[in-house]
Chains A and B, each alone.
Chain A
């Protein structure tokens, strides 16, 4: 586990000043009170009312509105007012008796692009390893050898990557120090316009001779790491909090949420999602993968390994968000990658046109089923490319190319959590399940959950500040909806031949036995709150975790969910037929089996 629990992302900033009226983030007195919170995103603003019910803090009401005004310009103050008013009204409260404790969660000003520059690959690995647990956009590191020694190459790297923060490692050898000093000069002098924040790390004495130049050219925009555990992580965390507080320093912006005499927490929503995923993993001692599809960014968070050696890796992409990143995604993966998820013909021009319309008005809901399907096709691909980026952290040696398809080699999760508005706002839960399964392609047995309340970031922030006592299991269940369990045998078989036999033994009715052929997805009912024993008999070509053809039965009864037991025999890796007609028929078949969409009549001429 990383040092986040005691790290700086949640600490008051050392520089930039404490926001007046903002209480200490570590104040334990706030954890048991009702709380009024808001999550201000780039496209959507949400408000949450948490009350204490029978000794537990519960999520009572949510208000939601567009962050953008009618003119398309962000209207933070107005959207906060609208979302909070709606939330209070839904929760039966008025402004007069609204909870005293307030929390403001936001992604604005909290997602830096970070570049690591180091004299050697080993130094770069140290920095990227420390930073992998923070939600940030980590650019490919620049090593100061060969072409990296050319100041023009370095400047071009920084200008094209547009990092907000540069972590510069000093290295250990005198020649490393020389090269690092040259890089400092290039950053401090060569990037006078939009110079990034500079963090000097390693043997900081090596930079001493450059202090006057750094202080004159990057005044207030530099930091030297301190002697502390994980110094780079802490330094970047401090900078994130500084930026967050600077962004919300103007009392007018947060005025709708402020209350005289009351305290206000300000925190990063991205960090909240990461912490929530980690806390859920710790609480149930399971490996967790959270796939987050927001309007502006996508994120994949993996927490895996034994409880005391858990590795947390986060990857954020700010260019393929489900609303604002569609054109970029289309450019990256190509129209064929999007249209392969659609059960009807669509050309590149129509997809581009759709992407433009959504980017012009990100706060709109699809009206037709066709538009909904296009939205979901984009979501699948944006999650997939984000997961591929995550896989590179676990498998750095593998050659990756943009748009490459395949199953990312990330640790198989016990629990897959879907979060973000793009997944949470699906009209039917089965739609969210299908998107998650298609993007992640979990293998063997995986519990599925959805942040249906879009409050996972709040859950994480409360858990980060107050520990697990601030987030009771009741509140966790208010936020995370159990969808059920997915059984996905690994392997490839012949179409129509049985891939697995599943026997479900319910507590109150006769067992159900079902043979699921390869290429098919089926759902067996197991409602929320119910349990059943599973026995799995894969055929010779398939593996559910114990080897090919080996029968398996979970040691404990599986829990029900809002969707049920999903038996996904579409193969791992999931392969779509090359022929368009067959592929579209397959998709229709899967949608129908999951009852994911209203009856579709897209197939023409039959």
Chain B
């Protein structure tokens, strides 16, 4: 006889390898973090060609244009043979402009005389650009639109360290608040902090809005339509994410691209989220964000080689005491790599540890207990916080 739900549950409960069920608070996640000090930030770009506007050693402000990228214009196919009622191989005879010539919208492209030259059929260019090619196979003419150009701005103010063919590295004193998800290019604006939805003012032109609360749909739409260039929020309501279609922009199809960059959907504004659910902002992080209210900041959603973050360039030579990734409050952790990977151990203490990362000079590390078998006698295991995963209360 098949067991009932009750008997089955009882059978399962008396198993010999019962494991305590952890609470939801144990769900690990990449945490929003704060860095402060001398930060290095790459700006990378892709395009058909680019002109770099800075040189190594040059000092730039946040928002300074470090390069301009140019992309080919969109090509339009015009059915000349079909529209004029001629055979495809006659197309070159009716064109009044030659392939390679520049045309503007409304220019006469081709004409066909009818009835002994008394009447004419004409085709005008639907867009400005270059007449690329006329096909005698298909009877189509192709007009390429004008190339588009886009500026690449410095994400952090400071000194240009290196300039490459498709990148610029800038180093400066700054504070960075990194989110766990983001979308959109780097933008600059004045930070406007809102503790509640009603605190969001009507005019947000050119500003970066920081929301201490999880975004609801109405607030998100308001921010996007009132002229803001970006938003950093503590979290977002699930239904708002679905209705706004932000899942597609925050997590576009991530695949190891074979060729060029994928055509990710563009977000309405640059977005950075400190958590991906209906969370309030962590107190420590929000205190830092509030302190930046009214200051010019940069917000980067996602670009090649960069993670979502809010950056404010600091005045003064040192930028104050660095406040690195914090492990405060973390007592039980799982090791993600290195000796003892997979083990769950206790944090005994914290220290500053000189680990070279692409974007920071040192990180905070955990001094651990319970890993003696992996360490020589008399030494104590130290693991950088990038290699641990919190199993207890998040800071």
Among residues of B, the one whose C-beta sits closest to the C-beta of A318 is: B255
Docked Cα-Cα span, A364 to B257, in Å, equals 23
The digit string for B14-51, where 1 denotes a CB below 8 A from any CB of A, is 11011101101011111000000000000000000000
Residues of A near B144 (CB, < 8 A) are 192
- Of the stretches B61-69, B133-141, B190-198, the one at the interface is B133-141
Residues of A within 8 A of B8 (CB): 585, 588-589, 592, 603
Q: Which B residues are CB-close (under 8 A) to A65?
A: 336-337
Q: Is the CB of B26 within 8 A of A367?
A: yes
List CB contacts (< 8 Å) of A367-394 with chain B.
Answer: 367-371
A357 x B255 contact (CB < 8 A)? no
Is B132 an interface residue, CB under 8 A from the partner? yes
Q: Which residue of B lies closest to A181 (CB)?
A: B137
Chain A nearest Cβ from B353, distance in angstroms: 13
In the docked arrangement, what's the CA distance between A599 and B11, Å? 8
Min C-beta distance of B67 to chain A, whole Å = 19
The answer to whether B138 and A182 have CB atoms under 8 Å apart is yes
A302 interfacial contact with B, CB 8 Å = no
Looking at the complex, which of B70-78, B103-111, B289-297 is the stretch in contact with chain A?
B70-78
Q: Closest CB of chain A to B342's CB: distance in Å?
A: 8
Tell whether A365 is near chain B: CB-to-CB under 8 Å. Answer: yes
B137 and A353 within 8 A (CB): no
In the bound complex, how far is the Cα of B138 from the Cα of A178, in angstroms?
Answer: 8
Among candidates B5, B14, B254, residue contacting A606 with C-beta atoms closer than 8 Å: B5
CA distance A78 to B355 in the complex (A): 12
Within 8 A of A (CB), among B311-355: 325, 334, 336-339, 341-342
Contacting residues, chain B, for A152 (C-beta < 8 A): 77
Residues in chain B near residue A41, CB distance under 8 A: 256
CB of A357 within 8 A of CB of B247, answer no
Picked from B1, B12, B71, B132, the residue with its CB within 8 Å of the CB of A592 is B12
* A158 to B: closest C-beta gap in Å: 11
Contact with A along B230-260 (1 / 0, CB 8 A): 0000000011011000010011011111111
B305 part of interface (Cβ distance < 8 Å): yes
Q: Which residues of B contact A370 (CB under 8 A)?
A: 21
Distance in angstroms from A603 CB to nearest chain B CB is 5
Residues from chain A with a CB closer than 8 A to the CB of B77 are 151-152, 155, 186, 189-190
Interface residue? A440 (CB, 8 A): no
A585 near B5: Cβ-Cβ < 8 Å: yes
* Residues of the B chain whose Cβ atoms lie less than 8 Å from the Cβ of A573: none
Mark each residue of chain A from 120 to 142: 1 if its CB lies under 8 Å from any CB of chain B, else 0: 00000000000000000000000
Assembly CA distance A541 to B362 (angstroms): 68
Find out whether the CB atom of B133 lies under 8 angstroms from the CB atom of A353.
Answer: no
- Against B, the Cβ 8 Å flags (1 = close, 0 = not) of A586-603 are 001100100000111101
- Please tell me which stretch of A110-118, A406-414, A482-490 contacts chain B, meaning at least 4 of its Cβ atoms lie within 8 angstroms of it: A110-118
Contact with B along A312-330 (1 / 0, CB 8 A): 0000001101001101100
The closest CB in chain A to the CB of B251 belongs to: A359
In the bound complex, how far is the Cα of B276 from the Cα of A361, in angstroms? 11
Q: Does A519 contact B (CB under 8 A)?
A: yes
Closest chain B residue to A210, Cβ basis: B137
With CB as the reference atom, state the residue of chain B lying closest to A320: B253
> Do B337 and A71 touch (CB < 8 A)?
no
> With A109-B256, A360-B30 known to touch, is A599 a contact of B307 (CB < 8 Å)?
no
Q: Tell whether A601 pairs with B12 under 8 Å between CB atoms, given A66-B336, A182-B137, A581-B5.
A: yes
Q: Which residues of A contact B257 (CB under 8 A)?
A: 109, 164
Q: A111-B255, A189-B75, A193-B71 are in contact. Are A64 and B3 (CB under 8 A)?
A: no
Q: Kindly state whether residue A194 has any CB partner on chain B within 8 Å.
A: yes
* B117 CB within 8 Å of chain A: no
Residue of A nearest to B342 (CB): A365
Task: Sort chain A's interface into a size bin.
Answer: 35 or more
Q: How far is the CB of B108 from chain A (nearest CB, A)?
A: 21
Contacts of B258 in A (CB 8 A): 109-113, 164-165, 243
Q: For the complex, what is the distance from the CA of A428 to the CA of B253, rounded to whole Å?
A: 30
The B interface, classified by DSSP as helix, strand, loop or mixed, is loop
Partner of A189, one of B17, B133, B337, B385: B133
Q: Are A69 and B357 in contact (CB-based, < 8 A)?
A: yes
With contacts A152-B77, A319-B253, A357-B27 taken as known, whether A178 is within 8 angstroms of B137 at the C-beta atoms is yes
**Residue from the set A111, A357, A581 with the largest chain B CB neighbour count within 10 Å:** A357
Interface of chain A residues 159 through 195 with chain B (CB within 8 A) = 159, 162, 164-165, 178, 181-182, 185-186, 189-194
Please pick, from B27, B242, B308, the residue contacting A367 in the complex, using a CB distance under 8 A. Answer: B27
Q: Is B386 an interface residue (CB 8 A)?
A: yes
Is B123 interfacial (CB 8 A cutoff)?
Answer: no
Cα(A251)–Cα(B306), bound, Å: 22
A352 within 8 A of B: yes
**Interface size of B by Cβ–Cβ distance < 8 Å?**
82
Chain B residues with CB under 8 A of A191: 75
CA distance A181 to B305 in the complex (A): 39
B223 within 8 A of A: no
Let me know if A213 and B28 touch, CB within 8 A: no
- Asked whether A189 and B259 contact (CB < 8 A) given A64-B341, A357-B29, A359-B251, the answer is no
Nearest CB to that of B71 among chain A residues?
A: A193
- CB neighbours (8 Å) of B261 from chain A are 194
Given A151-B140, A357-B276, CB of A496 within 8 Å of CB of B30 = no
Q: Which of B30, B72, B389 has the most CB of A within 10 A?
A: B30
Q: Is A42 an interface residue (CB 8 A)?
A: yes
Give the residues in chain A near B132, CB-CB below 8 Å.
189
Cα–Cα distance between A519 and B253 once the two chains are bound (Å)? 38
A585: chain B residues within 8 A (beta carbon): 3-5, 8
A27 interfacial contact with B, CB 8 Å? no
A495 within 8 Å of B by Cβ?
A: yes
Report yes or no: A327 in contact with B251, Cβ–Cβ below 8 A.
yes
B180 contacts partner chain A, Cβ-Cβ < 8 Å: yes
Q: Within 8 Å CB of A54, what residues of B?
A: none
Contact, CB under 8 Å: A606 / B21: no
Q: Are B142 and A185 in contact (CB under 8 A)?
A: yes
- Check if B337 sits within 8 Å of A86, measured CB to CB: yes
A30 CB to nearest chain B CB (Å): 26
- Which residues on the A side are within 8 Å of B308 (C-beta)? 72
**Complex Cα–Cα for A306 and B71 (A):** 53
Q: Separation in Å of the B275 CB from the closest CB of chain A? A: 9
Given contacts A181-B138, A192-B144, are A107 and B256 in contact (CB under 8 A)? yes
List residues 569-589 of chain A with CB under 8 A from any CB of chain B. 581, 584-585, 588-589
Tell me the smallest distance from the CB of A358 to a CB of chain B, in Å. 10
B12 touches A70 (CB 8 A): no
CA distance A360 to B279 in the complex (A): 15
| Chain B residues whose CB sits within 8 angstroms of the CB of A296 once the complex forms | 254-256
Contact A588 B29 (CB under 8 A): no
Given the interface pairs A109-B258, A353-B238, A519-B2, the reply to whether A363 lies near B21 with Cβ below 8 Å is no
A-B contact pairs, 7 of them (CB 8 A): A41-B256, A110-B258, A321-B255, A327-B251, A352-B242, A368-B21, A495-B2
Q: Given A318-B255, A367-B26, A589-B3, 6 more contacts at CB 8 Å?
A: A70-B357, A113-B258, A165-B258, A181-B138, A327-B251, A361-B29
8 pairs of A and B residues whose beta carbons are closest in the complex: A70-B386, A599-B15, A182-B138, A318-B255, A598-B19, A164-B258, A71-B307, A361-B30
